[in-house]
């Protein structure tokens, strides 16, 4: 039983919470801005738990979709589905159950939030398959990881103002940056098995492309801060995030797999820096 439980934990990546955090930070940015710095505890709890559930469901779907590819990649060949610890149908059942739980959390929310939630589930379910034909699946991942942004505005304002789309676009660029760092670790294996990633698409310009995406992310977040009338503490958070992006350049410039993976993990602190600045700015203004 302990072995089975461990397999399910690894299936939904609860043992590696970095994906949850990268999804959670932009969602919290949006929750705070949409509520003008005063979100209800209920909304914060629902979107936090919903983030955990949807990220976990996405991992289960991803392992089902990639089960024939994962066995050819050293880093993923021991994942529960491809190794046989969990049957493919079990992964689908887990994903469906988690999606239903996340939808149940929205009882009492408005119709716009519900409509966007259905779209979010469809995007999360389809993302793993984009790696077969789309040369920049990291952009699609950015939409999937950022869909909590329009949902937060729908929940708080029952509307989708322009700032929601600015934040979503900034998150897309951020996802391209950090997931390209992640993809650089597996580039050789992905080339052999025919998986498409931004690391392959960008080729020798991968490091430059990542830094340009970080720049676009920060510009988008600065624009969103201006639209939300945020002040110097928010800008200080963006400054800290910019410093972390420069640190990531030092980690990835030689394309060493360990450095690239380290940069990917460090993006948690970049997202936290932006949220910390936003939180402090609302607290004092």
Residue range 136-167, pLDDT digits in tens: 889 998 999 899 999 999 999 999 999 999 99
Residue 132 clears pLDDT 80, i.e. is over it: no
Residue 60 clears pLDDT 80, i.e. is over it: yes
Output the CA–CA distances (angstroms, integers) from residue 217 to 12, 176, 190, in the order listed. 28, 10, 26
What are residue 219's phi and psi, to 5 degrees? -65, -45
Say if CB 264 and CB 181 are below 8 A apart.
yes
Average pLDDT over residues 2-6: 80
Average pLDDT score over the chain: 92
The pLDDT assigned to 285 comes to 79
- Give the domain ranges of the chain: 2-284
Residue 3 clears pLDDT 90, i.e. is over it: no
Q: Is the dihedral of CA 179, 270, 47, 166 positive or negative?
A: negative
The pLDDT assigned to 62 comes to 87
The pLDDT assigned to 70 comes to 72
Residue range 26-43, pLDDT digits in tens: 999 999 999 999 999 999
Say if CB 131 and CB 148 are below 8 A apart.
no
Average pLDDT over residues 92-121: 93
Superfamily of domain 2-284 in CATH is UbiA prenyltransferase (1.10.357.140)
pTM of the model: 0.93
Question: Measured in Å, how far apart are the chain's first and last C-alpha atoms?
Answer: 52
Residue 129 clears pLDDT 90, i.e. is over it: no
Angle at 97 between CA 94 and CA 98, to 5 degrees: 85
Residue 127 clears pLDDT 90, i.e. is over it: no
């Amino acid at each position: 039983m302990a072995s089975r439980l461990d397999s399910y934990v690894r299936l939904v990546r609860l043992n590696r919470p970095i994906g949850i955090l990268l999804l959670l930070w932009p969602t919290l940015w949006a929750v705070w801005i949409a509520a003008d710095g005063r979100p209800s505890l209920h909304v914060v709890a629902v979107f936090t738990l919903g983030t955990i559930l949807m990220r976990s469901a996405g991992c289960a779907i991803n392992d089902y979709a990639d089960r024939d590819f994962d066995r050819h990649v050293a880093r993923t060949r021991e994942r529960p589905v491809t190794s046989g610890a969990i049957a493919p149908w079990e992964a689908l059942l887990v994903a469906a159950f988690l999606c239903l739980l996340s939808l149940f959390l929205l009882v009492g929310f408005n119709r716009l939030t519900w409509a966007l939630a259905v779209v979010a589930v469809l995007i999360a379910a389809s993302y793993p398959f984009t790696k077969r034909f789309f040369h920049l699946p990291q952009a699609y991942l950015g939409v999937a990881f950022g869909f909590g942004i329009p949902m937060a505005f729908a929940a708080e304002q029952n509307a989708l103002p322009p700032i929601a789309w600015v934040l979503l676009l900034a998150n897309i660029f951020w996802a391209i940056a950090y997931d390209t760092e992640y993809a650089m670790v597996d580039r050789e294996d992905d080339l052999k098995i025919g998986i498409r990633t931004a690391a392959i698409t960008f080729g020798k310009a991968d490091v430059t492309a990542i830094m340009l995406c970080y720049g676009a992310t920060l510009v988008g977040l600065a624009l969103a801060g201006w639209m939300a009338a945020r002040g110097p503490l928010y800008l200080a958070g963006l400054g800290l995030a910019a410093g972390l992006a420069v640190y990531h350049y030092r980690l990835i410039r030689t394309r060493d797999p360990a450095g690239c993976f380290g940069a990917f993990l460090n993006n948690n602190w970049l997202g936290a820096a932006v949220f910390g600045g936003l939180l402090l700015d609302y607290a004092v203004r």
